[in-house]
Amino acid sequence: MKIRIFPTIVFILFVIIFILFFKGLKNSNIYVPKANINKEIPSFKAKLFESSEEISSEEIFKEDKFYLMNIWSSWCVPCREEHNFLENLSTEKNLDLIGLNYKDDNESAKNFLKKLGNPYDIIFLDPKGIIAIDWGAYGVPETYLIKNNMIVKKIIGPLNKNLVLEIKEIIR
């Protein structure tokens, strides 16, 4: 059989384009503003979820270990999706999970945790969403991996399997 050269070349060309686009898609997290990474975290004072006692963030992030700050809300659908991954991460010894409950109703937030479990070590309240703005959050959910008061990694959108593996790799 005669192989037609021109169609073959065109075909291969498009396969290459496909692969490049496909890889580009995987890379799309790189659009996270770089300025936010390796920057000192903004400090804040906020009420706690359980006791409504006001605490400064500096007291929380001071130890020499990793912290995962997760901005969540009971009305946020993707938060529900990522909840299992947070539960999974909460078993890590070298990692404390800090929740920031964003623009939420206290009752429904409690129900949310009762139903799905509470992976967080501490939860701050951010009823007006002001702290989230200081952190440069785009929306919920958003997650920051923190060490020595520095943001090591910022994740926009829900966590997934790969991201969880990546986080585990970083903290080990």
Partner 1 sequence: MASLIGFYSLVFGACSSLMIIFFSLKNFKNSEKLSQKIIPLTFLQFFLVFISFLGLIFSFVYSDFSNETVFNHSHTTKPLFYKISGTWGNHEGSLLLWLLVLTSFIFLFVLRSHKQPIQYRLLTIIFQEVIIIGFFVFLIKTSSPFNYLYPIPEEGLGLNPILQDPALAIHPPILYLGYVGTSIIFSSALSATSVNYISKEWAKHIKMWVLTSWFFLTLGILLGSIWAYYELGWGGFWFWDPVENVSLMPWFALTTLIHCILVLEKRSQLTSWAIILSITTFTLSMSGTFLVRSGILNSVHTFASDPERGLFILIFLFSLIFLSLFIFFFFHKHDNNKKNSFFLFSKETSILINNWFMMYFLSVVLVGTIYPIFLDVIASEKISIGPPFYHKLIVPFLIPFLLVMAIGPKLKWIKSDLLDKLNLIIFFAISVLLSIFIIKNLDVEFLTNSILLSFIFYLFFVTVRDFFIGRLNNLSQNIAHFGFSLFLLSIIFNNMLSTEVITNLKVGDTFQSEKFKIYFENLDQKKEKNFKSLIGKFVIENSEGDTQIMKPELRIYNQPNIVTSEAYIKTNLFSDKFMTMNYVQNQEYLNIRYQIKPLMIWIWISVVIIALGGLISVIKNNEN
CB of 113 to partner 1, least distance (A): 14
Which of 2, 3, 7, 35 is close enough to bind partner 1 by CB under 8 A? 7
Q: In this structure, what are the phi and psi dihedrals at residue 32, rounded to the nearest 5 degrees?
A: -60, 130
Rounded to whole angstroms, how far apart are CA atoms 97 and 86?
8
Stretch that binds partner 1, among 3-11, 55-63, 94-102, 143-151 (CB under 8 A): 3-11
Where helices occur in the chain by DSSP H, the ranges are 5-26, 57-60, 77-89, 106-116, 130-134, 161-171
Residue 26 token pair: 């995987």
CB of 65 to partner 1, least distance (A): 31
Which of 28, 51, 52, 91 is close enough to bind partner 1 by CB under 8 A? 28
Residues 133-162 touching partner 1, rule: CB under 8 A, are 156-157
Rounded to whole angstroms, how far apart are CA atoms 124 and 60?
11
CB of 97 to partner 1, least distance (A): 24
Cis ω for the linkage preceding 141 (within 30 of 0): yes
CB-wise, 19 or 54, nearer to partner 1? Answer: 19
| Residues lying near partner 1 in the complex (CB under 8 A) | 4, 7, 10-11, 14, 18, 20-28, 30-31, 74-75, 77, 105, 108, 156-157
